[in-house]
Amino acid sequence: MNQREMQRLETRRTLAEHALRLFQEQGFDETTVDEIAVAAGVSARTFFLHFATKAAAAFPDHDERVASFTTRLGDGHSPGNPLLHLCVTMAGGLDPGSPTRRIRYRLLDKVSALRDEDARTDRDYEQAIVAYLMQAWGDTVETRVRANAIANASLGIARACLIASSKDGIDANEVCFDLMHRMFGSPFDVPLHSLKQD
C-alpha cells in the first residue's frame, strides 16, 4: 500500500476515533466538527473529505460492512439465505471483545441523529436483501412489496436485538432467531421457496 493511502487511512481512523470519544464524553450535539478536527490534528475542511456528515464518523466501517455483506450474498459463502446471514453477521457484530461497538450502540440508543444515520445504514442492507430475494423470486410488483416488507422486518428485528445486546448485555440472538423463525420457517429459507407459490 502507498504511503499516501496509508496516511489517508490513518487520518480517517484518527478522525473516527476522536469523534466517537468526544460523542461519548460530551454528547453528540455538544461536539462540533471543528473540535473533532482539532483533536485529530487536521482542519475542519478535511473532516468532510473523509465523512459526508458528522454522524457518519460514528460508523466509519459502514461501507466495508455493507460491501462485505453484499458480496457474501453473491458468492457461495452465504449460509443459506440473507436473513440467516443477517443473524450471523449480527451475532458476529456482538463480539464482546469489541468495546468500541458497545459504545457505538449505546450512543445509538440515546442520540436521535445517530439513529437517523443508522437507519440510512439499514437502507443499504435492505437494498442488498431485496436484490437477493428478487433474484430468487423474480421481479413482479407483488414480490417487490414482499421483499421490501421482509427486508424491513428483518432489519427491524436485528436492530432491536443489536441495541438491546449492547445496552443490557443480554444475549438477544435467541429472540432474533425465534422471531425470524416464526416469520420464515426453520433455517429462514421458507420464503425462498414456499412463499413463491402462495
Distances (CA, A) of 3 to 7, 9, 45, 169: 6, 10, 22, 40
- Residue 44 CA to residue 37 CA, distance in Å, equals 5
179 burial via Cβ count (<10 Å: 0-12, 13-18, 19+): middle
Asked if 154 interacts with a second copy (CB under 8 A), we say yes
Residues ≥6 apart with Cβ < 8 Å to 28? 54, 55, 107, 111, 113, 114
Binding DNA (rule: CB under 7 A), the pick from 19, 22, 54, 89 is: 54
Residue that the C-alpha cell 416488507 belongs to: 149
Which x/- pattern over 78-117 shows residues binding a second copy (rule: CB under 8 A)? ----------------------------------x--xx-
Of 53 and 127, the one with the shorter C-beta distance to DNA is 53
Residue that the C-alpha cell 459526508 belongs to: 52
The C-alpha cell at 198 is 402462495
- Residue 189 CA to residue 183 CA, distance in Å, equals 10
- Residue 175 CA to residue 180 CA, distance in Å, equals 9
Q: Of a second copy, DNA, none, which one does residue 4 interact with (CB within 5 to 8 Å by kind)?
A: DNA
103 burial via Cβ count (<10 Å: 0-12, 13-18, 19+): middle
By CB under 7 A, what part of segment 10-49 binds DNA?
11, 31-34, 41-43, 45-46, 48-49
Asked if 138 interacts with a second copy (CB under 8 A), we say no
Binding a second copy (rule: CB under 8 A), the pick from 157, 166, 188, 192 is: 157
Which x/- pattern over 168-197 shows residues binding a second copy (rule: CB under 8 A)? x-x-x--xx-xx--xxx-------------
DSSP 41: T
Asked if 63 interacts with DNA (CB under 7 A), we say no
- Taking the complex as a whole, the smallest distance from the CB of residue 105 to DNA amounts, in Å, to 21
Q: Of DNA, a second copy, none, which one does residue 19 interact with (CB within 5 to 8 Å by kind)?
A: none
- Residue 157 CA to residue 132 CA, distance in Å, equals 19
- Taking the complex as a whole, the smallest distance from the CB of residue 66 to a second copy amounts, in Å, to 15
| Residues at the interface with a second copy (CB under 8 A) | 112, 115-116, 119-120, 123, 141-142, 144-146, 148-157, 159-161, 163-164, 168, 170, 172, 175-176, 178-179, 182-184, 198
